[in-house]
A and B are shown apart, each in its own frame.
Chain A
Amino acid sequence: MDIDLILRVYPFFIEAAWVTIQLSVLTTILGLACGALGAAARMSRLAVFRWIGAAYVSVFRGTPALIQVFILYFGGPQIGIQLDSFAAGTIALGVNIGAYMTETIRGAIVSVDKGQTEASRTLGMSRWKTMRYVILPQAMRMMIRPLGVNINALIKGTALVAPISVVELTYTAQRFIGSTYKPFEMFLLAGLLYMVIIYVAGQGIAWLDRRARIT
C-alpha cells in the first residue's frame, strides 16, 4: 500500500466527500417529498391519482436509475430542460428514490390498524383529521427504520452521478485510478469515506427512531 500517495491525494477525496454529502442530503429531501406525494396519490380516493401514483412507482422502480440520470441530463435539453450535472443528478436520483420511499411510506400507513380509522371516523373526525391526528403519528414512528434503509441505499446510489462527471467520491476515485494506477488505494480511500457517511447517517436515523419510540 502506497501511504505517501494516499497522504498526497486525500484532500481531494475529502472535498469530494462533501459533494457526496450534499448530494445525499438534497436527494433525501427530494425523495421524501416525492415519497409523501406518491403515497398520498397511491391512497387517494380519486382513481386518476391512484393510477398516476402506481405508474410513478412502477416506471421508476422498473428501470435503472442510471438511465433515468442519463435521460434527464443528456435528453433534457431536447425537451427544453437544461440543467448542470449536479442539479440533473440530484433531481433524477431524488425522484428515483422517491418511488421507493412512496412504497415505504404507504406501507407504514397501511400497517396502522384499520380499527383506528373506523373508530376515529365513528367519533366524527373527518378523513383528514383522522389521518393527521390518529394515523400519521403512528405511521411516522414505523416508517423511520425502513426509510433509513432507503437512505442507506441512496447514499451509495449517489455514485451514479459519476458518469455524468459530478466530482463526487466515485468520480474522484475513478480519476485518480486513471492517473496513478493504484485502484486498491483509491477504492479504500473513497470506500472508507462512504462508510463514514453511511455510519453517521445510520446513527442519526437510529437516534430518531429511539426518540420516536413510545414505551
Chain B
Amino acid sequence: MGLDFTVVPSYFGVLLMGAGWTIAITVAAGLLSFFGGIFFAVVALYGHWAIRLPFRLFAWLFMGTPLLLQLFLIYFGLIQIGIDLPAFVAGVIGLGLHFAVYNSELIQASILAVDKGQYEGARTLGLSRLQTLRYIVVPQAVRAVVPPMGNNMIALLKDSALVSVIGVMELTLAAQQAISRTYRPFEFYLAAAACYYVINLALEAGLRRLERRFQASR
C-alpha cells in the first residue's frame, strides 16, 4: 500500500475544525495554567503551612508523573465521584492543572530571584508590603518569567494532542476519524503534524513579540 495524498483535501474541513478545537483547548488550558500558576505560587510563597503542605504534595505528584496518567485520573476520577464532565472540560482541566504546576514553579523562582535589597529599599522608602509587591517585585519578576512561561505554552500546545486519548475532539482525533474512513494513517497523521507545526510557528512568533515588548519596557 503506497502513499496517496490526494485523499487529504476532501477531509480538509474535518482537519480544519480539529485545528480550531486544538487552538480553543490550548487557549483555555493556557489561561487556566496561567492564573492557576499565579494562584499556586501565591499559596506556596505566602500561604499558611497547613495549606502549603497539600499544595506541595499536589505539585510533587504532578511534576513527577506523566500528563497522560493525570488525564486518566482526572477524567475517570471525576466520573467516579459523580461529576460527569464533557471530555473537553476534563481535558482542559487536566492540561491546565498540569501546566499550572510548572508555571507556579517558574513564578516562585522568579519572585524569589528578585534581590532582597529591593524589598528592603522599597519598604524603607515607605511603600507598603502590597505596594512593594505591586510596583517593585512583580514587574521585575514578570520580565524574567515571560520567556520560560512561553516555552510552557508551546509544550502545552503539543501536549494538547494527548487529550485525544480521553476522547476530546481536536486535531489528532479529527485525523483519526479521517483515518478510520480512509485507512490512510500516514497521510492524515502527517497532515495533522503539518497543522500543529503551523500553529506552533504562529504561537512562537506571537511569544517572541510579547518577549520583545516586555524587554523594551526595561
Q: A67-B161, A67-B172 are in contact. Are A174 and B77 (CB under 8 A)?
A: no
Which A residues, 66 to 89, have Cβ-Cβ distances below 8 Å to chain B?
66-68, 70-71, 74-79
Which B residues, 159 to 202, have Cβ-Cβ distances below 8 Å to chain A?
159-162, 164-165, 172, 179, 184-187, 189-190, 192-193, 196-197, 200-201
Which B residues, 113 to 165, have Cβ-Cβ distances below 8 Å to chain A?
158-162, 164-165
Is A215 part of the contact surface with B, judged by Cβ < 8 Å? no
Give, as a whole number of angstroms, the nearest-CB distance from A82 to chain B. 11
Contact B73 A183 (CB under 8 A): yes
Contact A78 B1 (CB under 8 A): yes
Contact A174 B72 (CB under 8 A): yes
Question: Chain A interface secondary structure, helix, strand, loop or mixed?
Answer: helix
Is A122 part of the contact surface with B, judged by Cβ < 8 Å? no
Is B68 part of the contact surface with A, judged by Cβ < 8 Å? yes
Binds A, one of B33-41, B45-53, B59-67, B205-213: B59-67
Is A148 part of the contact surface with B, judged by Cβ < 8 Å? no
Contact A157 B73 (CB under 8 A): no
Interface string of A183-210 (1 = CB under 8 A from B): 1101100110011001000000000000
Give, as a whole number of angstroms, the nearest-CB distance from B177 to chain A. 13
Contact B186 A74 (CB under 8 A): yes
The residue in chain B whose Cβ has the minimal distance to the Cβ of A194 is: B65
Is A27 part of the contact surface with B, judged by Cβ < 8 Å? no
- Give the size of the chain B interface in residues (CB under 8 angstroms): 37
Please provide the 4 A-B residue pairs with the shortest distance between their CB atoms, ordered closest to farther.
Answer: A75-B186, A159-B66, A74-B185, A64-B161
A residues with CB within 8 A of B = 59, 62-68, 70-71, 74-79, 156-160, 162-163, 169-170, 173-174, 177, 181-184, 186-187, 190-191, 194-195, 198
- Identify 28 residue pairs between A and B in the complex whose beta-carbon atoms are under 8 Å apart, listed by A's number: A62-B197, A62-B201, A64-B193, A64-B196, A66-B164, A67-B161, A67-B189, A67-B192, A67-B193, A71-B189, A71-B190, A74-B185, A74-B189, A75-B187, A75-B189, A78-B2, A157-B66, A159-B68, A159-B69, A162-B68, A163-B68, A169-B69, A170-B69, A187-B70, A187-B77, A191-B61, A191-B69, A194-B66
